[in-house]
Amino acid sequence: MKTLRLLTALALGGGLVLAGDYWHSNGAGWLAEADISSAAAAAEPTPLYYRDPDGAPLWSAGPKKDDRGRDYLPVYDEAGAAVAPAPPKAASPRKILYYRNPMGLPDTSPVPKKDPMGMDYVAVYEGDDADDGTVKLSPGKIQRAGVKSEPVTRRSIRVSVKAPGTIQLDERRVSVIAMRAESFVQKVADVTTGTRVKAGQPLMEIYSSAVASAAAEYLATITSRTVGGVEMYGRGSRQRLVNLDVPESVIAEMDKTHTAPVAIRWSAPRDGVVLERNAIEGMRANPGDVLFRIADTSVVWALVDVAERDLGNIAVGQSVAVRARSFPGRTFSGTIAVVYPQVNRDTRTVRIRIELANPDAVLLPDMYVDADIDTADAAPVLAIQDSAVLDTGSRQAVLVDRGEGRFEPREVKLGRRGGGYVEVRHGLADGEAVVTSANFLIDAESNLKAALKGFGEAASQASDAGPGNATGDHK
């Protein structure tokens, strides 16, 4: 195209007429085609560099071929190309302060400039680097980044503490049948470990000489009530039977029949499950030997370990939803009864006790469960979304949307978290809008502008100091 413009200019200026392979001049002589080609070549601009023909990020300072034998494409300086002059642009109402590197490098220029890749430096206008602590973004950049804001509102923070645990028996609902005197087991009922029994159901019959002697003595007192002082003596003999743990039903039968049984029938003291059976027919039982252990499983405990960091949200009386891994989809309701006053030094957890109703006895001892403790507070508090917080570990901040593309970083003090929201205890007011999406991009833009501004100030100070002050005076 540029060669064609040159030839057109030559033709108009010298009155040239194209004839065959030569240009004919009106009395000015002949110009050979080689001379015209030389003039056209001289008018061609010099390429800045050569790029890969496939658009790959590969460049060369001189002509080059790729691995497929194709020539690299030249890239020219568009500013030096002979093009028609563009219409003058209207003066910008905003003043350009400087130009920054388009790739974010700490490099600025007071005049328009291109980087080694041929990309134009980005203009920074007056007001974009305001010192009021805000970050200014253009509407297009806000739309491309997907910036979203949400007002600060009051809401109830629902904190759910989850903890694993196991089912244990209620210690207050376990009974043990043990002899208090030397005894012999004469008969054992058809009861085994795991059998469910009712209160008063016969378990075994035993013979004990100590029990037989106390029973005969008590029987003698209740049959001789006319003798003076027998009532007091009778109460003492009855108490002896009670001290030997003779069932109340046996003593009542003696009062009714006035007969002392040879073998005492022992029955279940409560409804429950037989956890342990050690009684065998004909065996000798010494004082203190446990023959039966029975537990009532209508109410059980869930012992769960709560992390130390969640201990402040736990209180006695809170409702708990317990889910057994053996029964997916089923929830058991309970309440916190006890918070144990000790922290496990190895796991940094605190054990709590949850009382659960177990009417159908499906919750068994040592069964794994998962507890979901609801620590919701009815009082509403200022809250924002979790995504709005920029947390560096040592400080937490949010970006307040001040409108017209301006965003203000502000440090905040946070409280409880739950349900995707976090409590704000200091730093924000009700109704202020905070950025909930793309806030990390705005934060990165703020850091970039701060770095560029600091770099520009340092370069300006070095320029004002002069080479002698910058490097020191040399004598």
Tell me if 175 sits within 8 A of 301, measured CB to CB.
Answer: no
Q: Are residues 190 and 284 in the same domain?
A: yes
Last residue of a domain, one of 288, 317, 350: 288
Domain of residue 30 covers 2-43
Q: Are residues 188 and 284 in the same domain?
A: yes
Rounded distance between C-alpha atoms, residue 255 and residue 246, angstroms: 14
pLDDT recorded at residue 116: 83
146 belongs to a structural domain: yes
Residues sharing a CB contact under 8 Å with residue 238, sequence separation 6 or more, in sequence order? 218, 251
Rounded distance between C-alpha atoms, residue 389 and residue 420, angstroms: 12
Q: Are residues 198 and 103 in the same domain?
A: no
Using DSSP's 3-state secondary structure scheme, residue 149 falls into strand
Q: Which residue has the tokens 């002979």?
A: 82
Rounded distance between C-alpha atoms, residue 205 and residue 179, angstroms: 12
pLDDT recorded at residue 123: 80
Per-residue DSSP letter, 120: B
Distance of CA 25 to the CA centre of its chain: 86
Q: Are residues 188 and 204 in the same domain?
A: yes
∠ CA(357), CA(360), CA(364), 5° rounding?
Answer: 75
251 closest CA partner among 270, 180, 243: 243
Alpha-carbon distances, residue 332 vs 168, 305, 317 (angstroms): 15, 18, 16
Joined tokens for residue 285: 């039982």
Rounded distance between C-alpha atoms, residue 248 and residue 269, angstroms: 10
76 belongs to a structural domain: no
Last residue of a domain, one of 374, 409, 437: 374
Sheet containing 183-188: give its strands across.
264-267, 202-207, 183-188, 284-285
Last residue of a domain, one of 374, 402, 426: 374
437 belongs to a structural domain: yes
**Count of domains in the chain?**
5
pLDDT recorded at residue 372: 92
Q: Are residues 209 and 302 in the same domain?
A: no
454 belongs to a structural domain: no
pTM of the entire predicted model: 0.54
Rounded distance between C-alpha atoms, residue 408 and residue 126, angstroms: 18
Tell me if 336 sits within 8 A of 318, measured CB to CB.
Answer: yes
Q: Are residues 368 and 395 in the same domain?
A: no
Tell me if 406 sits within 8 A of 350, measured CB to CB.
Answer: no
150 closest CA partner among 426, 424, 445: 424
Per-residue pLDDT of the chain (475 residues; tens, 9 = 90+): 444 444 444 443 444 333 334 344 444 444 444 454 455 455 567 787 788 887 776 778 788 888 888 888 888 765 444 444 444 444 556 678 778 777 666 677 888 888 888 888 888 776 555 555 567 776 777 777 788 888 898 888 877 889 999 999 999 999 999 999 999 999 999 999 999 999 989 999 999 999 998 888 888 887 765 444 445 555 778 888 889 988 888 888 888 888 888 899 999 999 999 999 999 999 999 999 999 999 999 999 999 999 998 888 888 989 999 999 889 889 999 999 999 999 999 999 999 999 999 988 899 999 999 999 887 666 788 888 888 888 877 788 888 888 877 888 888 999 888 778 888 998 888 889 898 887 777 766 666 555 545 555 555 555 555 554 444 444 4
